[in-house]
Structure 1
C-alpha cells in the first residue's frame, strides 16, 4: 500500500475530519479532564417550580397509575392528555413523588418540549443508569444512536424506575428518534396536549380535564382561604372554566393582596368590568371560544392591573418581554443584562421578577442553570394581548438579550448548558417577530447559537437549530437572503459532522452556488460554504475535487482576508491531509510544511488552529517517512488533546492512533499495540463494535499483532 492510499483508506478520513474541521474549524472540544454529562444537573428531581399544595379530583387517575407500581409490573406507557393548563404536570409530579417515596422506584424526569431538551435529558438518564463518559460523548456527537444507548441502560437497570416525559406537545420529536419505548424494568408516563391515538400506539391514554365545580372551588380556597365562602369560590371557579391554571393564577393573586385584600366577590366584580380584561381578544392570534387562553387572560390581566395600581408597571413589562420567548426554562442570566433597559430599568428587574413569582405568573426552576418558567398558555395569552405599539421594542430588546448571551465568536470549549437552553427561545422569537429587519437580527443570533452548539460537539442540536432557523427566516426574508443562506450553510456543515455526507453535499453545493451568484466568489459566506463542501468531498473519496476546491478557497481567503488570517491558515492546514507525500513537498512553493511555525507566529501556541496544524503536520511527516519527527510532534498533540478534551474525545483518539503508527514505524511495536488496544477499547465503549472508526482501529491493531502492517512507502 502506498503512503497516499494508506492515509486515504485508513486514517485520512478520520484524521482529516478531526484535524481539517473538527478542531480547526468547528472547535467542538470539551475542556477539562473528562467529558461532561451534557444534561440537567439532576433527572431525579422534577423540573417544576411549585408543586401543587393539594391535588384535587385526581384520585382515580392516581390509583390507576399506582397499579403499575405493584410488584412484577412493568412495560407500561401512560399518556396523560388534556388542554393546556389542566394540570397534567401536577398529576405526573404527584405520582412521581408517590412512586419514589413509597414504591421504591427510581424516578427520572425529562422535559420533552423540544429536541435538544429531550436528548440532553435522556442522555442524563443514561448517565444515571450507568452509561460511561465515552458512550455519552459519542451519542451527543451523533456518532452512535442516542436513543439506543439510553434504552440499553434502562433495560439493564438494577432498580425499577419511573420515567416521566413532560410536555411532549410535539410527539413527532419522540417518534423521530424512537425515544418512546417500553421496558420490563420500568413505567413511562407522558404528559401532552396531543391525544390522537396514532401518536401513542400501545399506550394507555388518560384524559385530564377541568375540575368538577366543588374541587375547583377548593383549589381557590386552598390558595386564598380567607377570601370568601365555598359557594363564592364555586361561582368564580365556574367563571374561570374550572381550569387549574386559571384557578392557580386567581388564587395566587388573591393571596397576595395585603393592604386592600380582595374578596372573591370583589374579584368577580372586576372580572365583569373592564375593557382591559378583554384585551386578550384584541391580540394578534384569533382565539376560539374554547381556547384556554381566554380563561387565563381573565386572571392575569387583573393581576397586571393590580401591578399598575401598586406602582409596579415593570412587572407587566417584564411579563410581556418574557412572552416573546418560549415556555421552556428561561435562564435568569438572560434577563440580568443592561440590554433589558429598553423595556424596564435593569435595577427594577429583580423587583419585577419577584412580583411575577409571588403571583404565580412564573416560577423558578433549576435545570443546571437557574431559570424562570411560565406556562405556555399564559405566555401565548400575554403575547396575544400585548398592545401593538409595544411589540417592536419588546422584540428588539429580546433579540439584544439573546445576542448578549451567545458568544460573539464561538470557539472550542466545554459543554455549556446555557446554550441548549437558549435554543427554544431563539426559535420562539423568530416565530413571533413579524418585522423583516428584526427577523434578520434574530436569525443572525440564532445561527451564531447553532455555531456555538456545534463547537461544543452538540451536533444534533446544532443541526436542528440551524435548519429550523433557516426555515423560519425564509418565511420573512426569502430563500435568497444572505442570512437564510448562511443558516442553510451551517446546517450543511453540521450534517457533515454527523456523517451525513450525501445530504450535506447537495445542500452545500446549492448554497455555495447561490452565494457566488449573489455575492461573488470572494465573499466570506461563499468561501465558508466552499470550505465546508471541500470537507464533504474529501470524505466522500472525491480527492481531486476536494483538492481543487481547497486550493480555490485558500486563494480566495488569501486575497480577501490576508495570509495570516486564521481562516486562511485553517484552509491551508487541510491540505496537509489531502495531499500525497510528493504533493505535500511541492505544494504552495514548498512552504506547506512550515505551516505550524506560521500559525505559532501569527496565532500563538494555544490557538485551536495552531494545534490542528501540528496534528496535520505530524500526519504529513509520517507520510514522508520522517517518523522520529512525526512521533515527537504527534506525542505533544496527543498530550494536549487529552489534557484539554479528555481521553475519550474523538480527536484525542485519532491523534493516539497516529501515535501508534509512528511508534510502530520506529520499531516500537509493543508500544504501538498497547496504544491501539486502548483506542479500540475506548471506541467500542463509545461508538460500539460495528462503527467504522472502531472497525478501522481494530483492523490496524490486527495488522500490528499479526505482523502484516507496513509503514508508508516514501
Structure 2
C-alpha cells in the first residue's frame, strides 16, 4: 500500500535532496538528481552517499523529514486539508530550496547562526507561503524547519565550509579596514587587526563546535552573556570533577567555590560550552551578583522560553511560571549556571528543578548549605602554572616561569595577564620580572579586601592594563583609556559591545545573509559633529577595543555581544585609581550612557527598541546595585537616562523590568535629597510602572505622595505637578474610583489649558483620559465629543501618524462601536491598523490590538469574508509569537471557529472547536 506521507515527501522532489547533499559537499552527486521519485530514493539511501559514520545522518533525516512530516500531514488531514493542498505545500518548499540552494553564504550562516538559520529560511519563503491555503501553512513551516535543521547539522561537515568561512572572514576584514586592499598590509597595521581576525575566526569556531559536537535540538535555548573561554584555557583536575558530577552523573546542584581570579567562571563556561556542543536542550547563564540581577535574568529567561506574560503578571508571577515551566518540561539534559553568587540567600526560592536539569553556581562564599555539592577551585599546581606560562609566552625558561608563578601565588588570572603582557611586549620572562620590580618600586599598592593575595598580583594586573594602553597610539589610546574606565564602573556582568565600539561586531549581529544590520544609535555624536569625525571616532573605538581584547585585559561573551573586565581586575583598578582617574572613569561611563538614544531607532523596529531598552534598564539596575557606581546618579545626564528608561519601558510594555529600577530611584534620592525635582519626577515614573504592572495598591499611595510633595515644593501649576495629578487620576479610574478620577481630570485639563495651552501634548493626553472615564461612566455622547475634539487637535498639532494621534483614533473607534455607529467604527479601525503597521511595525503591542479590534468589528457587522482572513492572520501571528498553548492563542482559535460556524463552514468549525476544547482541557484544566 502506498504511504501517502512518503508521497508527500517525494512531492518536495529533487530540490530537498540536492539542498541537503549540497550542504554535505556532495555537489557532483546533487547535480545528478532528476525527478521526485529519484530524489526520494536518494533520501532513503543517503547513507551510502555521505560521510555518514554509523548511519547517523540518514537516521536523522528519516526522523525529521519523514516522521515529522507524517505527524503534520495527519494533523492537517484531521483539520480538513485535502491531499491536493499538501501537494501544493511540497511544491512550494521545492521552489524555496531551488531559490536558495545555490547560495554558498548559507553554509557560513548555518554554522555562524544555527539558532537563526530556520528563521532566515522562513523569511526567504514568505512570498511562497503567502500563496498557500491558510490552513496548510503549518505544514509548510514544519517541512521548512525540518530541512533547516538538517542543513544546520550537515553544513559544518561540508568540504566547502572552510573555504566559504575564510571568504567571509576576509570579506569582513576588508569592510572593517576600509581602503586597505591586501591582507599583508592589514597584518602590518599591528595587533588591532590580529584581534579582529581572531574574533571572526573564534565566532565561526564557537558556532561550529556547538553544531558538530552535538546536533541542535528543536526548541533548544542558549541564554545569557556567558564569558568566552579564554584562548589559553588549560584543562584542570577540577574540570574532570565537574564533568563527572554534572555531565556523567546526576548531581542537581553544584557550586564552584574559590577566591577571585582562580578560574571558577572559566570552568563553568567551559562546561556550558561542552553542554551546548552536546545539544543540551537548555544552557542558561544567569548573573547572580545580586537578588535583583537573578530575578531580572529569570524574567528574561522566561520570555526566551515562551512563558506566558500576556496578562501583565508581576515579576514574582513570571519567575514562578518560569520555574514551573522548567519543572514540567520534558525530562532532558539541561544546564543553568548562576555566576558570581555574592549571597546564597539571593537564590532562595528561585533555583529551578526538573528532570535532567543541573544547576551550577560560582561563588567566593564558602558558607554553602548542604543542598549544594561544593567543589573547591584552587590556584594552579606549580607544574601547571609553569606549563601555562610557557604555553602562552613560548619561553623555555622554566626557572623564570617558576619564579613568576611563585610571585603571583599561582593565581590563574594573574598568570594569564602576566604571560600575555610578556608575549605582546616581547619580553623574556626574566625581563618581565625586572619590569614588574621597576613598575612597583615607585608606587604604593592598595591591598584588596577579602582573600589574601600577594601584592604582585595587583601589580601584574595593573601592569597589564598600563602596558596595553602604552602600545595604543593616536586617537585609539584615549578611546581605550575611556573604555577601561567605563567598563570598571558599569555593570560587572558587562556592557553591550555595540555601545563601546559602534559596529565592532556588526558582522556577528546581522544574523542573516540578507544583511539586516544592527541599530546605529550609539554612533550618534555631539550636535554638529560631521559624519567624517563620527566615523573616525568609531574607528578609534573599534581599534582600541581590539587592542584591549588582544592584550586580554578585557573579555567578551561567547557571541561577542557583551564586553567586560574581569570582576577582580576591575576591583584592583578601582582600589588604585587616583582622584583624577576616578573623575575620568565617571565621565567615560556618563558619556557612554548618554549616547544611548532609543528614539534614533525607527519606531517600526520594535525588536531593536526592545533590545536597547532592556539593556539600558539592566545597566541602570546594575549601577544601583554597585555602591562604588552610585556617584553616577549625581550626574544630570545619567538621571536623564534613567528617566528615558522609564519612558521607553512604558511604551514597550516593560512594566516589570521598569520596577527593577526602584533601587536606582532610591540612589537618586540619597544623592540629591527627597525634595529635588528629579527625585520627584522619578518617583512619579516609578509609581506609573507600578500602575502598568497592575500593582495599583502600591501605585496610588506613591502617586498621592508625589502629588503632595510636588504641590508643596514646585507649586500647583508646575508641569511636573500637573503630570503627577494626571497620573493619579488615571490610577483612580483603573481601580473604579470614577467620581474621583473625573473630578481630578477635569481640574487637570482646565489647569493644563491655562498653563500649557489647549494644543499642548500634555493637555491633549488629559483630554483623552477624561473621555475614557466618561465612556466608563456610560456617557457615550460626552465621551465621543471629547474623543473627536482630541483626535482633531492631535492630528493638527502632532500629525496624523503620531502614536498619540493613533491612540485617539483607536479610542474614538471603540467609542463609535459602543454607541452602535458600526460603519464609522470599522472605517476608523481600518485606518488605525494601516497606520500602526506603517508607523509601529507588525509586532508592536498596539498594532496587534488594532488587528484584533478590527476583526471583532468585521464579525459584529457580518462581514465574515473579511473577518475570517484577519482572524486567520491573528491566529498565525499568535502561534508564531506566543505558541499554540498560550491563552490568547486559544482564544484566537476559538474566535476563528465561531467565524467559520457563522460562515457555514461547519466541518472546519467543528474540527477547530474540538481541537480548542481538547487543548483548553489539557492546558487550563
Same fold (TM over 0.5): yes
Partner of residue 383 from structure 1, selected from 549, 565, 574: 574
Alignment map for 1:293-692 (pairs within 5 Å): 296-307=457-468, 310=471, 312=473, 314=478, 315-316=480-481, 318-336=483-501, 348-365=540-557, 370-407=561-598, 414-416=606-608, 417-426=611-620, 431-432=627-628, 438-465=634-661, 467-580=662-775, 583-586=779-782, 590-638=785-833, 640-641=835-836, 651-652=846-847, 654-655=849-850, 658-659=853-854, 662-663=857-858, 666=861
Matching of residue 204 in structure 1 with residue 204 in structure 2 = no
Matched position secondary structure for 2:721:
helix
Matched position secondary structure for 2:680:
helix
Partner of residue 59 from structure 1, selected from 228, 233, 237: 237
Supply the distance in 2 between the matched residues of 1:612 and 1:501 (Cα, whole angstroms).
Answer: 23
Task: Report how many aligned residue pairs link the two structures.
Answer: 644
Q: Is the 8 A contact 1:463 1:495 kept in 2?
A: yes
179-188 vs 163-172, which moves further: 163-172
Tell me: CA distance 1:137–1:377, structure 2 relative to 1, closer, same or farther (3 Å): farther
CA RMSD of aligned residues (A): 4.5
Supply the distance in 1 between the matched residues of 2:483 and 2:748 (Cα, whole angstroms).
Answer: 47
Alignment map for 1:61-140 (pairs within 5 Å): 61-70=239-248, 74=250, 76-101=252-277, 105-106=280-281, 108-113=283-288, 131=306, 135=308
Q: CA deviation at 1:606?
A: 1.4
Matching of residue 225 in structure 1 with residue 225 in structure 2 = no
Q: CA deviation at 1:43?
A: 1.9
Supply the distance in 2 between the matched residues of 1:119 and 1:172 (Cα, whole angstroms).
Answer: 13
Supply the distance in 1 between the matched residues of 2:247 and 2:851 (Cα, whole angstroms).
Answer: 48
Tell me: CA distance 1:697–1:540, structure 2 relative to 1, closer, same or farther (3 Å): farther
Matched position secondary structure for 2:337:
strand
Alignment match, 1:183: 354
Supply the distance in 1 between the matched residues of 2:443 and 2:449 (Cα, whole angstroms).
Answer: 14
Supply the distance in 1 between the matched residues of 2:410 and 2:251 (Cα, whole angstroms).
Answer: 34
Give 1 or 2 for the bigger CA radius of gyration.
2
Supply the distance in 1 between the matched residues of 2:811 and 2:874 (Cα, whole angstroms).
Answer: 19
Matching of residue 243 in structure 1 with residue 411 in structure 2 = yes
Q: CA deviation at 1:616?
A: 1.0
Supply the distance in 2 between the matched residues of 1:332 and 1:429 (Cα, whole angstroms).
Answer: 17
Tell me: CA distance 1:240–1:528, structure 2 relative to 1, closer, same or farther (3 Å): farther
Q: CA deviation at 1:610?
A: 0.8
Supply the distance in 1 between the matched residues of 2:618 and 2:441 (Cα, whole angstroms).
Answer: 30
Tell me: CA distance 1:534–1:98, structure 2 relative to 1, closer, same or farther (3 Å): same
Tell me: CA distance 1:274–1:254, structure 2 relative to 1, closer, same or farther (3 Å): closer
> What TM-score do the two structures reach when normalised by structure 2?
0.61
Alignment match, 2:335: 162
Alignment match, 1:3: none
Q: Is the 8 A contact 2:485 2:588 kept in 1?
A: no
In the alignment, structure 1 segments of 5+ residues that lack a partner are 1-31, 34-40, 707-714
506-515 vs 76-85, which moves further: 76-85
Partner of residue 449 from structure 2, selected from 284, 288, 298: 288
Tell me: CA distance 1:223–1:300, structure 2 relative to 1, closer, same or farther (3 Å): same
Which deviations, in whole Å up to 9, do the C-alpha atoms of 1:458-495 show, x marking residues without a partner? 32222212x12111112221122221222222111111
Q: Is the 8 A contact 2:226 2:269 kept in 1?
A: no
Q: Comparing both structures, which one devotes a greater share of its residues to helix?
A: 2
Q: CA deviation at 1:504?
A: 1.0
> What TM-score do the two structures reach when normalised by structure 1?
0.77
In the alignment, structure 2 segments of 5+ residues that lack a partner are 1-122, 127-206, 208-220, 502-522, 903-925
Alignment map for 1:133-148 (pairs within 5 Å): 135=308, 145-148=318-321
395-404 vs 684-693, which moves further: 684-693
Tell me: CA distance 1:657–1:107, structure 2 relative to 1, closer, same or farther (3 Å): closer
Tell me: CA distance 1:592–1:137, structure 2 relative to 1, closer, same or farther (3 Å): closer
Matched position secondary structure for 2:489:
coil
Greater length-normalized contact order (CA 8 Å, ≥ 6 residues apart): 1
Which deviations, in whole Å up to 9, do the C-alpha atoms of 1:554-579 show, x marking residues without a partner? 22332333222222222211223211
Matched position secondary structure for 1:562:
coil
Tell me: CA distance 1:196–1:52, structure 2 relative to 1, closer, same or farther (3 Å): farther
Q: Is the 8 A contact 1:576 1:619 kept in 2?
A: no
Q: CA deviation at 1:91?
A: 1.0
Q: Is the 8 A contact 1:320 1:386 kept in 2?
A: no
Supply the distance in 2 between the matched residues of 1:188 and 1:434 (Cα, whole angstroms).
Answer: 32
Q: CA deviation at 1:181?
A: 0.9
